[in-house]
Structure 1
Amino acid sequence: MPTEPLTAALLFLVGVINLVPGAVAVAPSRIGAAYGIDVHADPDLVLLLRHRAVLLALVGTGLLGAAFLPSLRVPAMVAGGVSMGTFLLFARTTRALNGATKRVARIDLAALALLLVAAGTVRHG
C-alpha cells in the first residue's frame, strides 16, 4: 500500500491541530476558553499566550505545507515533535494543572502519536 496519502493526511491533521490555537493570537478573548485561566488582569500573560499562539500557528503551517511538499516533511516533523514534546515534558513536570491545560496536553499527546506514525511512513530516497 502506498504510504504517500497516509503521510500527507497525518501531517495535514497534525498541522490543523497545531494551527487551531493560533486563533488566540487574533482573538485574545478566547484565551480563557482555551486554557481555563483568567488573564484579563495580566497583560503580560496575554502577550505571552498570544505569542505562543503565533508560534503554534507557524508549526501548524509548516506541517500543512509538509503534507503537500515532501521536501518539508523532515524539518516540519522535527519542529512539531520538539514543540509538542517539550510542552508534554513541561506539563508532566508541573503540578496542579487545570482541566483545560490537561486537555491541551492530551490533544498534544494524540497529535504527537500521529506525528510519529507519519514519521514512520516517510521514505528516504
Structure 2
Amino acid sequence: MNKVLSAILLLVGLIHILPITGAFGMQQLSNLYALDKLSASAELLMRHRAILLSLIGLILIMSAFLQALQVSALILAMISVSSFLLLWFLMEAPNAKLSVVAIVDAFALVLLLIASGFYWRLHSTIH
C-alpha cells in the first residue's frame, strides 16, 4: 500500500511539473494552453504560475519519499487541481487545450483521493 501511495505522489508530481515549459515564454504558453497574445503582465503571471505548479510537483515528489510531507502535499495538490477545475467549470466556452488540462486535473484529483485513502489506511489507529 505504501508503494502505491508513493507511486501516486510521483505521478501527480510529474503532472504538476510538466507545465514548467510555460515559464520559458509566450510560445510555450501558447503550446500548452492555446493562448492568444497576452499582455506583458498576463504573460508574467502565467509564467509565474508555471513555476508555482512545478514547486507543487516537487513537493509531491519529495513527499513520495518523506512521509512527513505527505499530508501537506496531498492537501496542497487537491486545492490546486480542485480550484482549477472549479474555475474551468465556471468559464464560458473554455478552449480545447484548457479542457485537456481539466481532464488531466480531474484524473489527478481522483488519484489524490485514492492516495489520501491509502494514507489514512496506513496511518489510522483504527483498522
Q: TM-score range by the shorter chain?
A: over 0.9
Deviation at 1:27, TM superposition (A): 4.3
Unaligned runs of 5+ in 1: none
Whole-Å Cα distance in 1 between the matches of residues 69 and 81 of structure 2? 18
1:23-62 alignment to 2 at 5 Å?
Answer: 23-39=21-37, 42-62=39-59
Structure 2 length normalisation: TM-score? 0.91
Whole-Å Cα distance in 2 between the matches of residues 82 and 31 of structure 1? 22
Alpha carbon RMSD of aligned pairs, Å?
Answer: 1.2
Percent identity over paired residues: 36
Deviation at 1:29, TM superposition (A): 2.2
Once the two structures are superposed, what CA deviation does each residue of 1:86-116 show, in whole Å capped at 9, x if it has no partner? 0001111111100011111111000111111
Match of 1:6 in 2: 4
Question: Is residue 113 from structure 1 mapped to residue 110 from structure 2 by the alignment?
Answer: yes
Once the two structures are superposed, what CA deviation does each residue of 1:30-70 show, in whole Å capped at 9, x if it has no partner? 1011001122x521121010011011011101100011111
Whole-Å Cα distance in 1 between the matches of residues 17 and 116 of structure 2? 19
Structure 1 length normalisation: TM-score? 0.92
Q: Is the 8 A contact 2:29 2:35 kept in 1?
A: yes
Unaligned runs of 5+ in 2: none
Deviation at 1:28, TM superposition (A): 3.9
Q: Is the 8 A contact 2:21 2:29 kept in 1?
A: no
